[in-house]
Each structure stands twice: as structure tokens, then as C-alpha cells.
């Protein structure tokens, strides 16, 4: 998982993902760890006692290890836990079946004021380009991630497994 998408999961902006693997091992109801790749963390988080997620942001150098215990937080030491998600549902469909609503659940966001329908634009975290629809932004995101493969690029319209998930609080 690309780290910017990891941040979107932490913030609750990404609640769906599409995968092309035919050997899908994710099972509905099961809990899985989410680990970022290709970048260093810029968002730190912790689960509070009421099972809500508290986000605390810190930028650090790659040589600084991620601490297990943070003594500098206002409410005292808190243990930081790995991010986990629970799979709520999954199904297979052609990639181009994605709707505007589902593209937003994939982490696509509005970048201009939603007050004026003539000026709404959509974007993703891996590009500065603005798009007229959430699906167009998702198509660009898909190609940024998968576009090098002729069989997985947006134009190829591969079958994908759509996973809907939620953050899972560890007890």
C-alpha cells in the first residue's frame, strides 16, 4: 500500500480498495494489519480507551525509529498500536464499474468548494492534477499505481476484487 493511501485510511477517507489478484486471500469478517510501503510515516495515531482514533502528526527523518511509547503527549504515556482493518464485504467486478461514490471511498477527494457545483474538482494524493469527476481522478490514480502493466492499466479494464473495510480498534 502506498503511504498516502495509508494516511487516508487513518483519517477515515479510504474505506474501499480494489485488487486485481486472482488469489485473493482476504476473508469477510477477518482483521488484517495495514503496513505502508514506499515512504516514511508522516502521521502517527493511537487508539483511545473509548476505541476512537486519535491522530497526532509528526515529521521525522528516516533514521528516527517509530517509538512504541510517546511520553510527550498531553495526557501521559500511551501505547501506539498497529493499524488494523476488518473486511466488511467483497465482490468482483470490472474496474470501469466504479461509481462516483465508490471512487470517493477509494480516497478521491473534493479539492474546490462543494458550494458551487460548477467549480467542483476532484483529486488524489499522488498528483496535483484536478479532475472533473471522482471517477476520472480514480482512473488517474489507478494508472499511477498500476499503469506500467498493459493488463492492469485503466484502459485494459481488468476484473478487480472490491473490498469494503473499516478501521478495527484493538482491545
Q: Which residue has the higher pLDDT, 166 or 4?
A: 166
Q: 3-class DSSP state for residue 128?
A: coil
Q: What whole-number distance in Å separates Cα of residue 167 and Cα of residue 32?
A: 10
Cβ(30)–Cβ(86) under 8 Å? Answer: yes
User: pLDDT value at position 74?
Assistant: 44
Assess whether pLDDT exceeds 70 at residue 10: yes
Q: What whole-number distance in Å separates Cα of residue 107 and Cα of residue 40?
A: 19
How confident is the prediction for the chain on average, in pLDDT? 76
Q: Minimal CA–CA distance to 21: which of 86, 100, 90?
A: 90
Q: Which helix (H) or strand (E) holds 162?
A: strand 159-167
Assess whether pLDDT exceeds 60 at residue 170: no
Cβ(42)–Cβ(85) under 8 Å? Answer: no
Assess whether pLDDT exceeds 60 at residue 142: yes
Instruction: Classify the C-alpha dihedral 146-149-150-152 as positive or negative.
Output: negative
Confidence (pTM):
0.74
Residues 71-123 have pLDDT tens digits of 444 443 344 456 788 999 999 999 999 999 999 999 998 886 555 556 778 88
Q: 3-class DSSP state for residue 147?
A: coil
Assess whether pLDDT exceeds 70 at residue 66: no
Q: What whole-number distance in Å separates Cα of residue 48 and Cα of residue 79?
A: 10
User: pLDDT value at position 113?
Assistant: 57
Amino acid at each position: 500500500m502506498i503511504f498516502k493511501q495509508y494516511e487516508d485510511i487513518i483519517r477515515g477517507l479510504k474505506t474501499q480498495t480494489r485488487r486485481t489478484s486472482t488469489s485473493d486471500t482476504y476473508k469477510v469478517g477477518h482483521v488484517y494489519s495495514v503496513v505502508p510501503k514506499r515512504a516514511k510515516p508522516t502521521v502517527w495515531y493511537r487508539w483511545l480507551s473509548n476505541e476512537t482514533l486519535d491522530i497526532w502528526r509528526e515529521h521525522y527523518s528516516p533514521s528516527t525509529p517509530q517509538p512504541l511509547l510517546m511520553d510527550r503527549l498531553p495526557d501521559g504515556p500511551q501505547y501506539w498500536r498497529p493499524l488494523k482493518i476488518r473486511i466488511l464485504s467483497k465482490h468482483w467486478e470490472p474496474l470501469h464499474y466504479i461509481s462516483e461514490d465508490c471512487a470517493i471511498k477509494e480516497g478521491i477527494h473534493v479539492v474546490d468548494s462543494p458550494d458551487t457545483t460548477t467549480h467542483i474538482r476532484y483529486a488524489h494524493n499522488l498528483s496535483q492534477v484536478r479532475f472533473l469527476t471522482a471517477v476520472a481522478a480514480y482512473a488517474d490514480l489507478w494508472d499511477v499505481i498500476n499503469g506500467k502493466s498493459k493488463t492492469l492499466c485503466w484502459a485494459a479494464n481488468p476484473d478487480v476484487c472490491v473490498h469494503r473495510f473499516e478501521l478495527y480498534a484493538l482491545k
